[in-house]
Homo-oligomer: A and B are copies of this chain.
Amino acid sequence: SAKPKTKSRSSCWLLQPRQLNNICIVFAELIATAMLMFLGCMGCIENSFFSNSNFQSALNFGFVVLICIQCFGCVCGAHLNPAVTLANYIYNMISLPMAISYFVAQMVGAFIGYGLLKAVMPESAIYSSSTSSGVCVTSLHSSLTGLQGVVIEFLITSALIAICCGVWDPRNAKNQDSVPVRFGLAIACLSLTAGQFTGASMNPARSFAPAIWNGAWENHWIYWVGPLAGALVSSLIYKYAFRREVQAQEEQESTMSTKRTSELEFA
C-alpha cells in the first residue's frame, strides 16, 4: 500500500508544489532577515531621549536572533547571514541554487528591514551624537587597525559558525529544544565582546544594509572578508576534524533490530 504514494511522488506534477515550497522558504528567509535588521537596529537607537548602552543593545541583538530562529527556524533554518549559508553549503545541507537564493533573500530582506526602520523612526533616532553615520552602521574603533579589525571579525564569525556546526552535528540531533535560546545568548556574548571594537557584525548582509541606506562605506570590506573567511575556515575544520556520525548507536540499534528479527524468525 506504500507503493502508490512513492509513484505519485515521482510524477512531474509534484514539481510545482516543490517549487512553490522553495519560494515560501526563501520568502521566510527574507522576512527573517528583515526582522533581524528592523528589531536589532531599533534596539541600538540611542539619543538624548532614548537611553541605551552597549550592554543593552548587545543583549537585545542576541534576543532578536532568538526571535528570528523561533519564528522561522522550522521553515527555512533562519540563517539570516550569508556566512551561515556558506557554512551550510560546505556541510552539504543546502543546494547551490538555494544557497544563492538565500543570499539574495538575505540582502533584500536586510535592505527592507533597515528601510522600514528609517520609515517609522524620527530622524533624531537614526542620527545622533553617538551614531553620527547612522544607527547600526558597523564601524571600526579608531584605536584598531584594519588588519586587527578583520582578524576580530574572522575570529568571532569562526566562533559563530562553530556554534552552528555544533547544532548541526549528528550527535546533537536530539538536542534542538533550546537552540533559539542558545543562539540568542551566544550572539549576545559575541556582540558584548567585540561590539565596541568592530560592531560585531559577523554578517555581510547585516553590515551592507545600513551602509547602503546611509552611504557609510568606510572599512566596509572588513565585514565581507572577515565573516566569509571565518565561515569557510571554521566549517571546514569542524567538518573534517570534529564532526562525527552517531555510528555506535546506529549499529547498536541495527543489532537490536537484527536480534528482534531473528527472534521473530525463530518464533
Contact = CB atoms under 8 A, between A and B. Distances in A.
A1 interface: yes
A120 B151 contact: yes
B49 A141 contact: yes
Contacts of A244: 75
Interface string A86-122: 0000000000000000000000000000001001111
A71 B162 contact: yes
Contacts of A185: 63, 66, 181, 184
Interface in A158-214: 159, 162-163, 165-167, 169, 171-172, 174-178, 180-182, 184-186, 188-190, 192-194, 196-197
A22 interface: no
Copies of this chain, tallied across the complex: 4
Given A66-B189, A120-B152, 14 more contacts: A38-B155, A39-B159, A42-B193, A43-B189, A49-B196, A56-B192, A63-B189, A67-B186, A67-B189, A71-B159, A116-B155, A122-B148, A178-B181, A264-B267
